[in-house]
Structure 1
Amino acid sequence: MLALLYYPVLYYPLAACATARHGAAHLLGSVLSWAHFGVHVWQRAECPQTPKIYKYYSLLASLPLILGLGFLSLWYPVQLVRRFSRRTGAGSEGLQSSYSEEYLRNLLCQQKTLESSSHTSKPGFLSWTWIGFRHYVYIPQRGFRLPLKLVLSATLTGAAIYQVALLLLVGVVPTIQKVRAGVTTDVSYLLAGFGIVLSEDRQEVVELVKHHLWALEVCYISALVLSCSLTFLVLIRSLVTHRANLQALHRGAALDLGPPRQGPHPSRQAIFCWMSFSAYQTAFTCLGLLVQQIIFFLGTTALAFLVFMPVFHGRNLLLLRSLESSWPFWLTLALVVTLQNMAAQWVFLETQHGHPELTNRRALYAATFLLFPLNVLVGAMVAAWRVLLSALYNAVHLGQTDLSLLPPRAATLDPGYHTYRNFLKIEVSQSHPAMTAFCNLLLQARGPRPWSPAAPQDGLRPGEEEGMQLLQTKDTMAKAAGSRASRARARWGLAYTLLHNPALQAFRKTAQSGVQAKGTQS
């Protein structure tokens, strides 16, 4: 159990250097990244093969780690060069401060973009296709970045998907290939012992068994590719949902995330959920990939060996023979469903004055009573389909924590959804970009001068006007926006954004007066 802490302790200094935002930290990160990268590349070049499971499994399993270390070995020197290049300029500004100011600048300048978009023509087919593509596939937007926690969580989840898929591939496929290569004529005696006679010719039996094993291998690989593709698509779709939820919460909107049990204050449970969110999502995704692989493999195997293979070889038509013997049952169910739909459309529904109305009620009651036993059989088939559909849907979306797998009434009982909801609460209350930009502007002021509405607006120093710095653009037209109306709009936009910040709602005068009126401690 203590060995699980090996990798976190080993790579923690490498990750901690990225948060220090100092030249020495970037230099140390460059040295550590190059050292780790060189050691791993040397080990894999020295020992590319291993006797475990598959001879190249160790090399394939280390590819995500090598790629990550290679990226860090290039990223740290770039950050070090940037640190030295901007030392003469705004040397104390960090990445988070520049992003928060850009976010607030785009938020306050949305009126110009809305006016320009209102003059465009109606969107065509390509525009609707692009909108649908952006709705399901994550594409970065200008002025908004996902929190670092979500980016790291998605990266770790992608690496975990690769590792689990690789383990499922090299653990089964080489074994099937070895079994197929070792099939001899003795397999005919083995099958005869179970009462299975494929052919009188032993060599033909060997060819049939090898062909069936090849079909089994194809079904397994197809199921693995399908499950990995769906898992990656769900992961990308969840990033779009994360962005939409964060943007709504930053605006102060109330999402349908279940009834909040607590206020905007951080709580013990919320902090625990924030700490365990990435690990939970990785575990959910890996388990969902495993469940999908089992379901898809069973489905593709049944489809191949019960439909395609018998039709191709012209023998062992078990499914087709069962359908041939039970065709009256299925025909009766199909006729019952068809007749009820036709009667509902042409007999029991009448359009009068432009509105459909119910008619022939006595015939409707009689038909409902007479068809009750047959509808019970139809309901049994629908119930089986409902169970299969719900199991398949939950298996596909098991790794998506922003979606509850339980009904809305029991959404709070879903541990993954509960963790995601508390994670959003901590992320919004502690990392609101508007709040970060406001604090940045206060820290950039040269002198501690309190602001008052009656203070003169001429001769302001850089950093003392909260909204004007955010509205300064590169074009010459925006540089002339120094009027009193633009300053007022900037202040009102910033005030509105800060007003809906969950980190500040608890410190408002109304909230404090309400708490004092109840007699509780603020």
Structure 2
Amino acid sequence: MSSQAAGNQTSGATEDYSYGSWYIDEPPGGEEPKPERPVSLCQTSIPPSLSHACLASLSVLVLLLLAVLVRRRQLWPRCGHGRPGLPSPVDFLAEDKSRTVPTAVFMVLFSSLCLLLPDEDPLPFLTLIWTPSQVKEPEQEHRPWKMLALLYYPALYYPLAACATARHGAAYLLGSLLSWAHFGVQVWQRVECPQTPKIYKYYSLLASLPLLLGLGFLSLWYPVQLVKSFSHRAAADSEVLQSSYSEEYLRYLLRRKKLQSSSHTSKHGFLSQAWICFRHHIYTPQQGFRLPLKLVLSAALTGTAIYQVALLLLVGVVPTIQKVRAGITADVSYLLAGFGIVLSEDRQEVVELVKHHLWALEVCYVSALVLSCSLTFLVQIRSLVMHRANLQALYRGAALDLGSQAQSPHPSRQAIFCWMSFSAYQTAFTCLGLLVQQTIFFLGTMALAFLVFVPVLHGRNLLLLRALESSWPFWLTLALAVTLQNMAAHWAFLETHHGCPELTNRRRALFAVVFLLFPINVLVGTTVATWRVLLSALHNAIHLSQMDLSLLPPKAATFDPGYHTYRNFLKIEVSQSHPAVTAFCTLLLRGRTPQPQLPARPQDSLRAGEEEEGMQLLQTKDPTIKGAGPRASHGRARWGLAYTLLHNPALQAFRKPALSEAWTNGTQP
């Protein structure tokens, strides 16, 4: 007995009772996948709280210096002891100023706000005042600070954009220093800590790529402008660019159109038609027209939003699916058996099937993401074409009648509010539309894959095919009913006499068929109603980010907040930055203030046969030339006044009704 007990103790000392040895069917030599090491929290050599405090202090200092600079440049000649002026960050209604700087600053701002999502310290400089140990409930305490960060980051990047509007060498120097500081801090933090434990280890690095791109551009643009400011041609260049867009718009508008020959059209008919179709659906630059700055910012923010949302959807789901697929073991067969699901008797085959299904799920998710991003991008490109068509129609004097009631072309408080929030609304609609599209497309691709392709490939779980097999009489009856009614309507109940279709005299048979097929048509109507709901949901999901298209019927278009915002945005843009009005004001200023003769640009040189008589008045003439006296100045002023009165949308209500029949969609009612 003692020896047996000793033997039992000896064998028990060497026996392993771990969880992996409980199943005798476990294949020998199987190694469990090693779990991935968690990413530790990285600490930079310079704390983020200190760097943010330095950047905030530098931004405040630059803003104060810009305020003094604006006062000295604009108010010093008349009131030298006046108050400092607050510099404007962006001139949204200017058509001839640089658009790259506002676009880069808005990309930087939106990318910084996107990085706030996984950040635990939305205002890092607050840790210099309160230590983390003093916070009892950090998750609840950070919520108000994140809301406050929505105002902090615009104030932080305000001087970075305002340095470009000052148009002075000292402002360019301050912008260079500020952009270098921001760019250096971001690059230093990404180099020292490329991985973060939140969401995905490389999410912070990938999400900050638009941020680094915008700051990198600004760090190069400001030094270049600083070098240009020292040249003697800077003042002349600024004078040339002051009214270039308005004059270019009028030159293109009044230029004599050349008629294309029929032989040229027939020779290249297919290519020309393909190019016209391409230009109708894809935005291409057009000579003599330039999109407003608000639309350019909206397009840039839309691209940034697509990238940020797609990145978040990709790194938040795909790595998790890959980890689950890598950690699948033979124990999953017992888990599925607990739910009554038996895929196979072989446990290794069950493991392969589950891994294959997870791989198919990952493919469906990635395919839906690619499809949703592509459709959102194409819809936004199509929107730019509609923006240009609507603006050109309004410039020509079309009525601002985009809804059930005609809108006044004059600005209003509601219109100003909509103009202020247009770009922000466009960005939010793009993010939400991409999320909705991803959900719908993922569910659709997953249903198609797991109900059609995967069962047919493996030859099992043919649920959809079995359901169709059991319900084939229903679908055959509906198809026959629809086909027979269409054939009877075409061959039996409709006749054509003298080119005019009319009902035949078989009306009794028509009434009998309508009565007898009423129950079947109810079933057909149910199917059609379901299809209508699916099509409406898919259409609204695709066009959710498109603000120039109402998702409601025309009579209820005023209840669509996005479309309502777009209408008022067009009203402000046309009433405040009309190119013809700008050109008219430029002509008046040229008539009163003599301008130095500047060398003509090669692209502005036009032949006499390509210009209209009114356009020739835009050319600056030498006063010493014969005939260039008071009569020429009066003629120029009268022509400008006539053109402005004819094409000014603010005078639409006082013109004849025939002049306001054009709609902003470019069509006639």
Cα shift readout 1:390-436 (whole Å, capped 9, x = no counterpart)? 00000000000000000000000000000000000001101111212
Q: Cα 1:218–1:331, aligned 2, differ >3 Å: closer, same or farther? A: same
Task: Tell me the distance in 2 between the aligned counterparts of 1:489 and 1:370.
Answer: 77
The match for 2:265 is 121
Q: Cα 1:91–1:218, aligned 2, differ >3 Å: closer, same or farther? A: closer
Deviation at 1:42, TM superposition (A): 2.0
Out of 255, 260, 265, the residue aligned to residue 410 of structure 2 is 265
Contact 1:429/1:503, CA 8 A, preserved across alignment: yes
Deviation at 1:494, TM superposition (A): 6.5
Q: Does 1:400 align with 2:546?
A: yes
Aligned 1:86-485 pairs, distance under 5 A: 87=233, 90-93=236-239, 95=241, 97-109=243-255, 111=256, 113-115=257-259, 120-122=264-266, 124-259=269-404, 263-359=408-504, 360-445=506-591, 447=593, 473-475=604-606, 477=608
Task: Tell me the distance in 2 between the aligned counterparts of 1:194 and 1:270.
Answer: 59
Q: Cα 1:504–1:34, aligned 2, differ >3 Å: closer, same or farther? A: farther
Q: Does 1:11 align with 2:157?
A: yes
Task: Tell me the distance in 2 between the aligned counterparts of 1:462 and 1:118.
Answer: 46
Q: Cα 1:504–1:483, aligned 2, differ >3 Å: closer, same or farther? A: closer
Q: Cα 1:498–1:162, aligned 2, differ >3 Å: closer, same or farther? A: farther
Contact 1:48/1:59, CA 8 A, preserved across alignment: yes
Deviation at 1:72, TM superposition (A): 2.5
The match for 2:47 is none
Task: Tell me the distance in 1 between the aligned counterparts of 2:404 and 2:596.
Answer: 40
Task: Tell me the distance in 2 between the aligned counterparts of 1:207 and 1:119.
Answer: 65
The match for 2:169 is 23
Q: Partner letter of residue 525 of structure 2?
A: G
How many pairs are equivalent? 489
Task: Tell me the distance in 2 between the aligned counterparts of 1:375 and 1:139.
Answer: 48
Between structure 1 and structure 2, the one with the greater Rg is: 2
Q: Partner letter of residue 23 of structure 1?
A: G
Contact 2:254/2:615, CA 8 A, preserved across alignment: no
Out of 193, 208, 216, the residue aligned to residue 62 of structure 1 is 208
Q: Cα 1:61–1:96, aligned 2, differ >3 Å: closer, same or farther? A: farther
The match for 1:450 is none
Task: Tell me the distance in 1 between the aligned counterparts of 2:612 and 2:312.
Answer: 62
The match for 1:455 is none
The match for 1:500 is 647
Task: Tell me the distance in 1 between the aligned counterparts of 2:537 and 2:308.
Answer: 25
Task: Tell me the distance in 1 between the aligned counterparts of 2:637 and 2:186.
Answer: 52
Q: Partner letter of residue 199 of structure 2?
A: I
Contact 2:588/2:637, CA 8 A, preserved across alignment: no
Q: Partner letter of residue 528 of structure 2?
A: V
Q: Which runs of 5+ in 2 are unaligned?
A: 1-146, 618-634, 657-669
Q: Partner letter of residue 372 of structure 1?
A: F
Cα shift readout 1:262-294 (whole Å, capped 9, x = no counterpart)? 533221111110111111111111111000000
Q: Which runs of 5+ in 1 are unaligned?
A: 448-460, 511-522
TM-score when normalising by structure 1: 0.87
Aligned 1:25-44 pairs, distance under 5 A: 25-44=171-190
Q: Partner letter of residue 121 of structure 1?
A: T
Contact 2:246/2:580, CA 8 A, preserved across alignment: yes
Contact 1:188/1:205, CA 8 A, preserved across alignment: yes
Task: Tell me the distance in 2 between the aligned counterparts of 1:485 and 1:57.
Answer: 56
Cα shift readout 1:141-177 (whole Å, capped 9, x = no counterpart)? 1111111111111111211111111111111111111
Q: Cα 1:8–1:156, aligned 2, differ >3 Å: closer, same or farther? A: same
Deviation at 1:365, TM superposition (A): 1.1
Task: Tell me the distance in 2 between the aligned counterparts of 1:485 and 1:384.
Answer: 59
Q: Partner letter of residue 643 of structure 2?
A: Y
Q: Partner letter of residue 432 of structure 1?
A: H
The match for 2:19 is none
Q: Partner letter of residue 521 of structure 2?
A: N
Cα shift readout 1:320-377 (whole Å, capped 9, x = no counterpart)? 0010000000000000011111111111112222332211222111111111110000
Moved more, 80-89 or 15-24: 80-89
Deviation at 1:6, TM superposition (A): 2.4
Q: Partner letter of residue 310 of structure 2?
A: A
Q: Partner letter of residue 30 of structure 1?
A: S
- Secondary structure of the residue aligned to 1:185 is coil
Deviation at 1:92, TM superposition (A): 4.4
Deviation at 1:258, TM superposition (A): 1.5
Deviation at 1:98, TM superposition (A): 1.6
The match for 2:83 is none
Aligned-residue CA RMSD (Å)? 2.9
- Secondary structure of the residue aligned to 1:377 is helix
Task: Tell me the distance in 2 between the aligned counterparts of 1:412 and 1:384.
Answer: 27
Contact 2:397/2:652, CA 8 A, preserved across alignment: no
Q: Cα 1:73–1:501, aligned 2, differ >3 Å: closer, same or farther? A: farther
Q: Cα 1:484–1:171, aligned 2, differ >3 Å: closer, same or farther? A: closer
Deviation at 1:499, TM superposition (A): 3.1
Q: Percent identity?
A: 80
Q: Cα 1:75–1:97, aligned 2, differ >3 Å: closer, same or farther? A: farther
Task: Tell me the distance in 1 between the aligned counterparts of 2:438 and 2:612.
Answer: 62
Deviation at 1:40, TM superposition (A): 1.6
Deviation at 1:493, TM superposition (A): 7.1
Q: Cα 1:92–1:215, aligned 2, differ >3 Å: closer, same or farther? A: closer
TM-score when normalising by structure 2: 0.68
Q: Partner letter of residue 181 of structure 1?
A: A
Q: Partner letter of residue 154 of structure 1?
A: A
Moved more, 76-85 or 62-71: 76-85
Task: Tell me the distance in 2 between the aligned counterparts of 1:196 and 1:440.
Answer: 79
- Secondary structure of the residue aligned to 1:357 is strand
